[in-house]
């Protein structure tokens, strides 16, 4: 589904990613782990079109998307969330979700029709909000929500266009245990019900081992190991580099 081939990226003289190759298969919830500075976010950035990788290729569903700008990747069915919540703060929650929907229905340049009359769009927006549990807050300004709920808004925004692959950059960052639990259940639920493939990065190992079927380990810009949770847990190099022995999560 997503194939990364020999991807390298440097910022000036700093080589952040070196010759990374991996493949995410449809239906398998995949995780990318690694210590801070390993290059996880940079990998996401080069895949999702934030910047063009210095070298290497990215394929999505067979299509070469290397270096394509972000707005040309989303319509293909690949969406991402950000480490620092990236939503439309002064818009209401439902308006946040309507933005991707309007784009999907190609109504971005519909100048004269009233948005309030777009019943189909509104219904779909409500469905998405219901799915993440935010329907009750639909008409509140997004910035008035609690931190955890804001991340749910972003999740809703990301899911609105029914993408087939979603890159989640630390979805539980900054969340308390209860919110984290909810997020984990949500991700599992969505993966099952919608068939969306999630590719997430996380620092919280409990989350990773609870949801991931396939794990990639990144260390200092290189792919250190890959495999299912059991394999990764018992991989000595991974333990040394990253988990530091406290693997029994």
What are the residues binding other proteins (CB under 8 A)? 48-49, 69-72, 74-75, 79-80, 86-92, 95, 98-100, 102-104, 107-116, 118, 121, 139-141, 157-158, 160-161
Q: Are 199 and 24 in contact (CB under 8 A)?
A: yes
**Local structure of residue 204 (DSSP, 8 states):** -
Q: Which is nearer to other proteins, 139 or 248 (CB)?
A: 139
Q: Is 46 helix (H, G, I), strand (E, B) or coil?
A: helix
User: How far, in whole angstroms, is CA 155 from its chain's centroid?
Assistant: 8
Quote the CA–CA distance of 55 and 32 in Å, as a whole number.
Answer: 20
Instruction: Give residues with Cβ within 8 angstroms of 193, minimum separation 6.
Output: none
Q: Which is nearer to other proteins, 78 or 243 (CB)?
A: 78
Q: Is 209 helix (H, G, I), strand (E, B) or coil?
A: helix
Q: Indicate the pairing of strand 55-60 with strand 214-219.
A: unpaired
Q: Are 30 and 226 in contact (CB under 8 A)?
A: no
**Distance in Å, CB of 5 to other proteins, minimum:** 23
Q: Which is nearer to other proteins, 57 or 107 (CB)?
A: 107
**Local structure of residue 240 (DSSP, 8 states):** I
**Distance in Å, CB of 112 to other proteins, minimum:** 5
Q: Which is nearer to other proteins, 8 or 81 (CB)?
A: 81
Cα 136-84-29 angle, rounded to 5 deg? 80
Q: Which is nearer to other proteins, 93 or 211 (CB)?
A: 93
Q: Are 215 and 228 in contact (CB under 8 A)?
A: yes
Q: Tally the C-alpha atoms within 13 A of residue 192's C-alpha that lie toward its C-beta.
A: 7
The neighbour count for residue 121, using CB atoms within 10 Å, is 19
**Distance in Å, CB of 141 to other proteins, minimum:** 5
**Distance in Å, CB of 200 to other proteins, minimum:** 16
Q: Which is nearer to other proteins, 49 or 56 (CB)?
A: 49
**Distance in Å, CB of 16 to other proteins, minimum:** 16
Q: Which is nearer to other proteins, 39 or 100 (CB)?
A: 100
**Distance in Å, CB of 181 to other proteins, minimum:** 26
**Distance in Å, CB of 237 to other proteins, minimum:** 34
């Amino acid at each position: 589904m997503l194939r990364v081939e020999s991807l390298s990226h440097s910022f000036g003289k700093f080589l952040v990613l070196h010759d990374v190759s991996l493949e995410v298969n449809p239906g398998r919830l995949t995780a990318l782990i690694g210590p801070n500075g390993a290059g996880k976010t940079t990998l996401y950035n080069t895949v999702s079109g934030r910047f063009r990788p210095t070298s290497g290729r990215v394929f999505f569903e067979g299509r070469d998307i290397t270096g394509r700008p972000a707005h040309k990747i989303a319509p293909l069915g690949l969406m991402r969330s950000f480490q620092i919540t990236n939503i439309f703060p002064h818009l209401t929650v439902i308006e946040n979700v309507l933005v991707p929907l309007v784009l999907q229905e190609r109504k971005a340049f519909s100048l004269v029709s009233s948005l309030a009359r777009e019943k189909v769009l509104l219904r779909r927006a409500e469905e998405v909000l219901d799915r993440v549990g935010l329907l009750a807050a639909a008409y509140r300004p997004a910035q008035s929500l609690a931190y955890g709920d804001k991340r749910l808004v972003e999740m809703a925004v990301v899911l609105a266009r029914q993408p087939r692959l979603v890159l989640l950059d630390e979805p539980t960052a900054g969340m308390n245990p209860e919110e984290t639990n909810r997020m984990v259940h949500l991700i599992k639920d969505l993966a099952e019900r919608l068939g969306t493939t999630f590719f997430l990065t996380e620092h919280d190992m409990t989350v990773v081992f609870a949801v991931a079927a396939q794990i990639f380990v990144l260390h200092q810009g290189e792919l250190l190991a890959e495999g299912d949770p059991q394999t990764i847990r018992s991989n000595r190099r991974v333990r040394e580099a990253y988990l530091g022995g406290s693997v029994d999560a």
